Structure 1
Amino acid sequence: RKEKKDNMKPKHPEEQEIPFRLRELMRSREAMKCPGPGKRRAAEEKQQQKSQGPKAPGAVPVPRFRRGKGESERSYVCRMQQEVQRVLFLAENQLQREPEKEATAPEKSKRKKEFQKKKLEKARKKKEEKKEALLEKSLFQDKVPFGEVVTQPPTITSRPRGRAPAQQAGRKQLLLRARLGPSQASPASLASPVPPVVSMARRRILEEERARVIRAYRDIQRRKQLERERAQ
């Protein structure tokens, strides 16, 4: 039966083995200081891409030449000439760029703008309604001093704004009143509670005048009806 090597005394007390985690940390630090050829090349390419910045759409990439391992000088020169010819061809045939007309930053979508506008309008409307409600509440609220006693409801001393005073009965300007004379249409005679004593001749004149006014009124109404029928 094999004994476990965990938690055992070292063979030599003065020599202790380096822990596994510490060895891995030391190995990774050494690899960062001295990277291999493949990793070094990948890091250089990444650094070059960062220094060049983001490529614009339609831009021709600039080739970087490096002689391969075991590549002859002639083949290396031919490869460079081919790459140069290809880059020149692409540069001559690419579209004319106008960077000043390109959009600098993407604008917000129309839907998002409408949503923000509706949200602001709703908040403003709600604020105005709240303000109006507070104002209306303050108008209908009386400040009663301390100790005041009310024994009857308040009396209205002012009429509503924009409304004329109410006319008394018998004082309205009617159509028949305009047909009557000034003596018959006087408000004092109509409003008097006790009718005055009228003679027979005066009564006959009043009846004739009344019949004349009624006929005139009926003529006016008939004329208006005929005009309405003609208009139709």
Structure 2
Amino acid sequence: SKEKKKVNCKPKNQDDQEIPFRLREIMRSRQEMKNPISNKKRKKEAQVAFRKMLEKEAKGVEPDIAVPKFKQRKWESDRAYIQRMEQETQHVLFLSKNQAARQPEVQLAPKKEKSERKKAFQQRRLDKVRQRREEKAAERLEQELLRDTVHFGEVALQPPELTARPRMSTSRGQPGKKSLMLRRLLSPGGVSQPPTTSLARQRIVGEERERAVQAYRALKRQRQAAQSPRPLDSPRPASRKKAETCL
């Protein structure tokens, strides 16, 4: 006969006391409320699995049969647990028998296609490496060209003559040796002769010049006559009628 469990009994050890069942349940529920990530994570995994199954069905590939995981539930008797395991195994066997024949070794793994962004990044990287190699090759060639080979027994009798000036040179040339425009004009061969014109062209140009001078003089006279005021003391000319009567 099983002994009845006493509820309000004195603990065997005063230093070690067992936590009551109700208190453990309250603590577990509080912990779940503090960490709601587990439920969200579980929902997300279920959504991902369901999406994968739909994608496989859309492609015409049958989804894999889920392998059941057996675990005895709370307040479940041994007989009910064994019966549930038997039902799930029979269901899995039925699905596996009615499933189409598969050949996973024949199916090729899909190749991972590189994204456009990754391709552009790799192309830029290759261009930089190629440019760096070209610069190094050009620098090496320049050093080889500028290298002066000294033969055995060669003697230098005078220092080399510098024909090119440095870029940041501030030295000025000697006076009187610059190629100025005035100097070119003063040189005997530098004065340019005007082109010769024909007699008809000279006559036409002379007439046009004379006409322009006459027009300018007439305009000047008109302006002077308009600006000069009329004198007040000047005698008025006698009328023709008075002259006739006097006669």
Same fold (TM over 0.5): no
Instruction: Give the TM-score normalised by structure 2.
Output: 0.28
Higher RCO (CA 8 Å, separation ≥ 6 residues): 1
Instruction: Give the TM-score normalised by structure 1.
Output: 0.30
Rg larger in 1 or in 2?
2
